[in-house]
Chain A
Amino acid sequence: MNRLTPRISHNNIVILATLLLLIVLYGAGSVQYTGFFSLQVFLNLFIDNAYLIIVATGMAFVIISGGIDLSVASLVALVSMVSGDLFAHGANAGTVVAASLALGIAFGAGQGYLIYRFQLHPWIVTLAGMFLARGISFLISSESIVITNETYVKLSQHKIHVWGQNFVSVSVLIALAVVIAVLLVAKFTFFGRAVYAMGGNEKSAALMGLPIARTTVLVYTLSGFCSALGGIVFTLYTLSGYSLHLMGMEMEAIAACVIGGILLTGGFGYLIGPMLGVLCTGIIQTIIMFQGTLSSWWTKIAIGLLLFLFMALQRVIVMRKEKSRNPVSSMNSPNSENKIVNL
């Protein structure tokens, strides 16, 4: 039993490191720049990154299941494009939202089906998905479409006051709802546990009788759904549809997952992590904005270095886990093994 204490800290250490980093970065920014330490600056992090939080959370599920989804950014652009086009043809907001979500679900399910049914590499299938989604949005139009729909405009300008004059947008509430819902799904449903088991070891999961086919398709469907929802939120944020929106955002989503402690080999990670990862990169962007003289490419360099640090940290944890997994200890601590699987 005395092994249990360090074991639990193994499981927590990345997420704690992320949290610590968040506080340090925010603290450093507050000390350095006047006006940085205000509630609105903090809330803006959520407002500006709501779509990324949603997309990264969906991506985290796929990564935990042992796969990858590269199509997310293109899907967001496609949703913004389809929304713009539908509005231009006089559709109402409800139809557009429903169509967007249906598109995301169908797209994700299709990718999941190809990956499972024909045993294709998720990398290649979602790469094709990425080309496909961008291609379709190019076909719709290569120009940017401005959205003037009343409901969307109203929604995007709606301010929900949190404290005094400080506010958040509707998108932030959607993002938080997604994070909470996904946390609950991962912890309390059969599907959630099956995803963790599958990511840990697909063969063992299959031998245990878990429905690998259904879970794979569902995981990619969930990611597609999250991308579509992220697309709606992003459309609300920019009020435009453009086929070149968010080029390369899939890598930002993956980076957020890594910084948030989702193990890229699958099977492990807290689903609150991606949100913390997104906030970390958001704070770096804000600091560079406040600094004023540094060019924007420093953001990329800083995020890359963070990625490296967190990957090295992940690696150390995996190595220590492998070391402690000698036959005696694994027999003695089945509970802690379960803990890894169940969060």
Chain B
Amino acid sequence: MANLTASVRNIGRNPIIWPLLALALLMIFNLIAIPGFFSIEFHDGRLFGSVVDILKNASPLAIIALGMTLVIALEGIDISVGSVLAIAGAMGIFMLDGYPTWIAILAALGIGVLCGLWNGMLISILGIQPMVATLILLTIGRGIAQLITGGRIIDTTSASYTFLGKGYFLGLPIQAFLILIVFALLYVLKTRTAFGLFVESVGGSKTASRYAGIRPRSIMMISYAIVGACASVAGIIVSANLGSADANNAGLWIELDAILAVVIGGTSMRGGRFYLGGTVIGALFIQSLTTTIYSLGVPAESILLVKAIVVILVCLIQSEAFRKLFVPVGKKAIIE
């Protein structure tokens, strides 16, 4: 009996189990409540269906949230991702006018990394609080995007560029593969290089890491540059999907969803350990929730309300003080 409780508790402690459980519950709900939610059709070598749509629409969020996981693990935050997304999208579409696609993509990635380095510089060298430092780019960013587009919504017809947003590969939307690529790159960075360990160490304690010979500044610079790159990948996807760049509305509020995805995924806002898999599941959960609400025919306006309730619930479940409310002190003593 004691063994059983212990193993149950161990599973409970694995942070990835909670978002997975939430996603599973949502899917079971969909299976019962929405007929045909899981039906997938096959046309012209492409798969269609709600589940495929979720994968497709979740991609900007999932990719940004993956980058965000790194900086949240460093006890930081990047609230400028939505603006960087808009800048990168604008840059990509702008460069297509006269340059080949690969240069446009490189330019979009480059400007994203530049934005990330700027944030990293403010945070690691000037020592400004992450939220505040990235607030600058959040405010200026859309202005810069508008400077690039000249205040208009610019568009493109380049097929090779829009493939990144509309294309299919092996029957699946290209976005699903982009999520996979970004995830794989970061996962290799985390598990196969020392970088992941360094990030967790700096997030745990900056001072201790410095004494251990890690340079927190360069780790932070690199991490913020990675978020910038992730945001520009998302920007490319969004602008390619629409075939146009909208400086005002592209990626609006995505920073909030991304933070939410990371927190649901089990990474603590207080820094330290981070879970890339959890983040992807968190992002999928948020997108599934949105899709569910749409398919239920509930007015789209209530989506914010549902999100608010989910955020509070998830945070409460993660809070020690809240869990203690439900585990009577006496009983706990017997278990231990």
CB of B205 closer than 8 Å to a CB of A: no
CB of B307 closer than 8 Å to a CB of A: yes
CB of B336 closer than 8 Å to a CB of A: no
Whether B136 contacts A311 by the Cβ 8 Å rule is yes
Given contacts A118-B322, A131-B305, contact A254 B312 (CB under 8 A): no
CB of B106 closer than 8 Å to a CB of A: no
Residues of B within 8 A of A305 (CB): 140
Q: Which residue of chain A has its CB nearest to the CB of B256?
A: A127
One digit per residue, 1 when the CB lies within 8 angstroms of any chain A CB and 0 when it does not, for chain B 121-149 equals: 01000111101110111111011101100
CB of B194 closer than 8 Å to a CB of A: no
Residues of A within 8 A of B139 (CB): 251, 255, 300, 303-304, 307
Whether B321 contacts A119 by the Cβ 8 Å rule is yes
- Docked Cα-Cα span, A119 to B322, in Å, equals 9
> Which of B77, B143, B147 makes the CB contact (< 8 A) with A123?
B77
Residues of B within 8 A of A315 (CB): 126-128
From A120, A131, A132, name the one whose CB has the most chain B CB atoms within 10 angstroms.
A131
- Docked Cα-Cα span, A121 to B137, in Å, equals 23
- Docked Cα-Cα span, A199 to B315, in Å, equals 23
- Docked Cα-Cα span, A102 to B126, in Å, equals 42
- Docked Cα-Cα span, A303 to B138, in Å, equals 11
One digit per residue, 1 when the CB lies within 8 angstroms of any chain A CB and 0 when it does not, for chain B 88-122 equals: 00000000000000000000000000000000001
One digit per residue, 1 when the CB lies within 8 angstroms of any chain B CB and 0 when it does not, for chain A 307-325 equals: 1100110110011000000
Whether B304 contacts A134 by the Cβ 8 Å rule is yes
CB of A264 closer than 8 Å to a CB of B: yes
Main secondary structure, interface of A, reads: helix
Whether A311 contacts B304 by the Cβ 8 Å rule is no
- Docked Cα-Cα span, A303 to B135, in Å, equals 11
One digit per residue, 1 when the CB lies within 8 angstroms of any chain A CB and 0 when it does not, for chain B 245-272 equals: 0000000000010011001000001100
Residues of B within 8 A of A128 (CB): 307-309, 311-312, 315
Q: Which residue of chain A has its CB nearest to the CB of B118?
A: A308
CB of A326 closer than 8 Å to a CB of B: no
Residues of B within 8 A of A129 (CB): 308
> Which of B140, B263, B301 makes the CB contact (< 8 A) with A124?
B263
B67-82 interface with A by 8 A CB criterion: 77
Given contacts A120-B315, A123-B77, A132-B308, contact A301 B259 (CB under 8 A): no
Whether A119 contacts B305 by the Cβ 8 Å rule is no
Whether B269 contacts A124 by the Cβ 8 Å rule is yes
Given contacts A255-B139, A264-B129, A265-B129, contact A114 B312 (CB under 8 A): yes
Whether B307 contacts A255 by the Cβ 8 Å rule is no
State how many angstroms separate the Cβ of A264 from the closest Cβ of chain B: 5
Residues of A within 8 A of B260 (CB): 127
CB of B28 closer than 8 Å to a CB of A: no
Whether A258 contacts B132 by the Cβ 8 Å rule is yes
Whether A139 contacts B131 by the Cβ 8 Å rule is no
A225-272 interface with B by 8 A CB criterion: 243, 251, 254-255, 258, 264-265
Whether A118 contacts B129 by the Cβ 8 Å rule is no
State how many angstroms separate the Cβ of A233 from the closest Cβ of chain B: 24
Whether B140 contacts A135 by the Cβ 8 Å rule is no
State how many angstroms separate the Cβ of B314 from the closest Cβ of chain A: 9
CB of A293 closer than 8 Å to a CB of B: no
Whether A136 contacts B305 by the Cβ 8 Å rule is yes
Known: A301-B143, A304-B137. 7 other contacts (CB 8 A): A121-B270, A124-B259, A135-B306, A135-B308, A297-B151, A307-B135, A311-B136
- List the 5 closest pairs (A to B, CB-CB), nearest first: A135-B305, A138-B301, A304-B140, A135-B304, A131-B308
